[in-house]
Structure 1
Amino acid sequence: MTDFPVFDGHNDLVLRLLRGDVTADAVASGLSDGHIDKPRAQKGGFGGGFFAIFVPSPGDKAARHDEMRDPPYKIALPDQISEAVATDWTERGFDAMADLAAAGAVRICRTATEVEAALPAEEMAAVIHIEGAEAIDRDFEKLEAWHARGLRSLGPVWSRDTVWGHGVPFRYPSDPDVGPGLTDAGKALIRECNRLKIMVDLSHLNAKGVEDVARISDAPLVATHSNAWAVCPHSRNLTDRQLAMIRDSDGMVGINFASAFLRPDGRMDSEFDLDIVLRHFDHLVHCLGEDRVGLGSDFDGALVPDKIGDCAGLPSLLTALRSHGVDDGLMTKITHGNWLRILRQTWGE
């Protein structure tokens, strides 16, 4: 199934470098843990994707995951991150991306044409994404500077509030209609992203924030790593109303592999069959159409299904899709074609 290279909506490999868990050279040569490295990418047909620069919240992620093993749960939003702390992390994130490129692990891409050319290459095609815009200043000088360094995608929030807007907490069962939407500054940020042709990511925004982006943005609406609320009623997933807004904008959604956002019971448990992923796929295709669904794994940032495991396990998912009736044309769209379409449309190519 590696005849269909996967361009993926989201991964958190950069965070592993920033925390000192791995080095760029080790990513290029091979790792013993995690989800992504160059040898496994080549084995599994992982052609690349959006590489997130993310500022983690203080606290114990493992404790949050433990709480999510036993629904229902209602986990409070983490505290806000200061602009100074976020700026330091983000600058180091750009340096980490440069290190990955220098090590031959990735090829940083600024255009859809570059992404398409890189997909068959040895290096992973990497689009730089910022997840949570705490580091952006109100005058947008850093946004301009980072765009010049390759920034092409941005999520105004992670699951915590920022000066730009409000994120969804980790709650099950819950819909995403939690709290107010974008602030006035956040609305200005969306307009500035439109001007610079930076893709705006709806993942982690609450319902009112998504509606604000839909009213303001002149670009397709995109959720890089989100699932169908109708299948799993988790606050992080997209309702049919939100999916209709995305469809009407000719946008798209990348299916998130995070177990708690896939499983209908909302449990943080990775032992389940891939037919649950296929249920999300079916619902998204029903609501959005075949041209608006892709993959958004959240590799290195989520507990993914055991039957995928890591990026080398992507052929297991593609085989399941094939057995589900997905032909070559639709497989091409899901694995990378739909992402290329969105990138061209959003970036003005």
Structure 2
Amino acid sequence: MLTLLKNARLFAPEPLGLCHLLIADQRIAAIVSADAEPPVSGSGVGVSDLEGRRVVPGLVDPLVHFIGGGGEGGFGTRTAELTLADALASGTTTLVGALGTDALTRTPANLLGKARELAAGGLTTYCYTGSYQLPPVTLTGSVGSDILFVPEFIGLGEVAISDHRGSQPSAFELARLASEARTAGMLAGKSGIVFIHTGDAPTHLEPLREAARTSAIPVAQFLPTHINRTPALFEDGLRFAREGGRIDFTTSTTPELLAGGEVPASEAVARALEARVAPSRITLSSDANASLPQFDEARRFIGLRAGRLGSLFEVLGQCVNDHGIALERAIGVASTHAADALKLPRKGRLQVGSDADLLVLADNGWVLDEVWALGRKVYGHS
């Protein structure tokens, strides 16, 4: 199947001006200037004229709770699963699923099944094996075999540090697990990334530094999230990035979390760039369908809301419109950099050979007109 997208103002993420894109099945087969003749024509080619609208890569979200999360306030506080309709309308075309606090009533098998359900609907989905607690829950009996033998499992996560809900892992345990994930990733041609949930305890990111200092594991093998959770954690995250690590900011939030000191994700990106953190070390994730719990000073649960997948696209717009970050640079933190960290070379860029995952933006305002995933329009007007 051939599809020609004409007159796209292309950000790949670098700005390429007005272009024609040819899609062959699921991938981009050609990109030519709009001044040139289209690469193909004829009755067998589907044609869509985008009339100069901006086209950017589909977003890559490294943390989504496909099957819900929560439960910190009892069974009545479990959050719902992600629906396919919400996912298709979000602008996120590549999603990585994780368990969270609850790895007892939710399992890796549930997670994998939901990943395949969303993939059947047209999206690209992956998973992390494990959860907050250690020893990690797995599908096949070990972290290494999950990553090596199950195509969707690309790393380990969300392992909790500096959080009262985690297992308080030692530096040795973190290094050992990272080594297992890294080696299995090498054997399978995957990233073997260790995705880290970071709580608000004053130890912040020190467990990861100690694991790297006391082992041969590079600090970039870890990708800690929620770095905008508190001002102190944010500052420690900037130091961590300057030391060679990566940092991830959470786009889902609530008025209560912001009032409690959370740094808005778009502001966190802007401040990190102003602090001369290398852009490639910054990513965004939605934490979609996770619980965003509130605890009092005694760590007692007092309420929660659920994360939203659409918050990733919203924060990308805030980076551009509220903080003046160039679109091509903002795309990196919402797509390209996560694709690189997760070792997904066909994601996060619009170039020949890449998967045809792309967003068509409206002429006015920060609005999605169309979402294309793997060469097929999955959202937008017919």
Q: Which residue of 2 aligns with 1:255?
A: 250
- Superposed CA deviations along residues 62-106 of structure 1, whole A, max 9, x for unmatched, are xxxxxxxxxxxxxxxxxxxxxxxx5x657x4224423541x3x12
The verdict on how the C-alpha distance between 1:278 and 1:54 changes in structure 2, with shifts beyond 3 A counting, is closer
Give distance in 1, aligned partners of 2:344 and 2:66.
27
Residue 182 of structure 1, aligned match among 164, 167, 170 = 170
Residue 100 of structure 2, aligned match among 54, 60, 73 = 54
Q: Which residue of 2 aligns with 1:106?
A: 119
Q: Which residue of 1 aligns with 2:279?
A: 290
What is the SS of the residue equivalent to 2:218? coil
Residue 309 of structure 2, aligned match among 299, 308, 311 = 311
Q: Which residue of 1 aligns with 2:198?
A: 204
Give distance in 2, aligned partners of 1:123 and 1:157.
25
TM-score scaled by length of structure 1: 0.59
Q: Pairwise mapping of residues 141-290 of structure 1 onto structure 2 (< 5 A)?
A: 142-147=142-147, 148-149=149-150, 150-155=152-157, 157-158=159-160, 167-169=162-164, 182=170, 184-197=172-185, 198-204=192-198, 206=203, 207-215=205-213, 216=215, 217-218=217-218, 220-228=220-228, 232-233=230-231, 237-240=233-236, 242-249=237-244, 251-259=246-254, 263=258, 265-266=260-261, 276-285=264-273, 286=275, 288-290=277-279
What is the SS of the residue equivalent to 1:53? coil
Is the CA contact 2:198–2:224 (under 8 Å) kept in the aligned structure 1? Answer: no
Task: Tell me whether 1:127 sits opposite 2:127 in the alignment.
Answer: yes
User: Matched residues, percent identical?
Assistant: 12
The verdict on how the C-alpha distance between 1:35 and 1:252 changes in structure 2, with shifts beyond 3 A counting, is same
Is the CA contact 2:252–2:286 (under 8 Å) kept in the aligned structure 1? Answer: yes
Range with bigger deviation, 38-47 or 125-134:
125-134
2:316 maps to amino acid = L
1:94 maps to amino acid = A
Higher strand share: 2
| Shift, 1:265, TM fit | 2.6
Is the CA contact 1:247–1:288 (under 8 Å) kept in the aligned structure 2? Answer: yes
Q: Structure 1: where are the runs of 5+ without partners?
A: 22-32, 57-85, 108-120, 159-165, 171-177, 268-274
Q: Structure 2: where are the runs of 5+ without partners?
A: 1-53, 186-191, 294-305, 346-382
Is the CA contact 2:97–2:115 (under 8 Å) kept in the aligned structure 1? Answer: no
| Shift, 1:238, TM fit | 4.1
2:193 maps to amino acid = M
Is the CA contact 1:254–1:294 (under 8 Å) kept in the aligned structure 2? Answer: yes
1:319 maps to amino acid = G
C-alpha root-mean-square deviation of aligned residues, in Å? 4.1
Task: Tell me whether 1:44 sits opposite 2:90 in the alignment.
Answer: yes
Give distance in 1, aligned partners of 2:159 and 2:255.
20
The verdict on how the C-alpha distance between 1:311 and 1:201 changes in structure 2, with shifts beyond 3 A counting, is closer
Give distance in 2, aligned partners of 1:343 and 1:179.
25
The verdict on how the C-alpha distance between 1:146 and 1:245 changes in structure 2, with shifts beyond 3 A counting, is same
The verdict on how the C-alpha distance between 1:259 and 1:129 changes in structure 2, with shifts beyond 3 A counting, is farther
| Shift, 1:43, TM fit | 1.7
Q: Which of 1 and 2 has greater Rg?
A: 2
Q: Pairwise mapping of residues 80-119 of structure 1 onto structure 2 (< 5 A)?
A: 92-101=107-116, 103=117, 105-106=118-119
Is the CA contact 2:60–2:93 (under 8 Å) kept in the aligned structure 1? Answer: yes
The verdict on how the C-alpha distance between 1:54 and 1:303 changes in structure 2, with shifts beyond 3 A counting, is closer
The verdict on how the C-alpha distance between 1:329 and 1:94 changes in structure 2, with shifts beyond 3 A counting, is same
Range with bigger deviation, 335-344 or 196-205:
196-205
Give distance in 2, aligned partners of 1:313 and 1:256.
6
What is the SS of the residue equivalent to 1:169? coil
Give distance in 1, aligned partners of 2:286 and 2:234.
16
Give distance in 1, aligned partners of 2:246 and 2:134.
25
Q: What is the count of residue pairs matched by the alignment?
A: 258
The verdict on how the C-alpha distance between 1:151 and 1:244 changes in structure 2, with shifts beyond 3 A counting, is same
Is the CA contact 1:200–1:222 (under 8 Å) kept in the aligned structure 2? Answer: yes
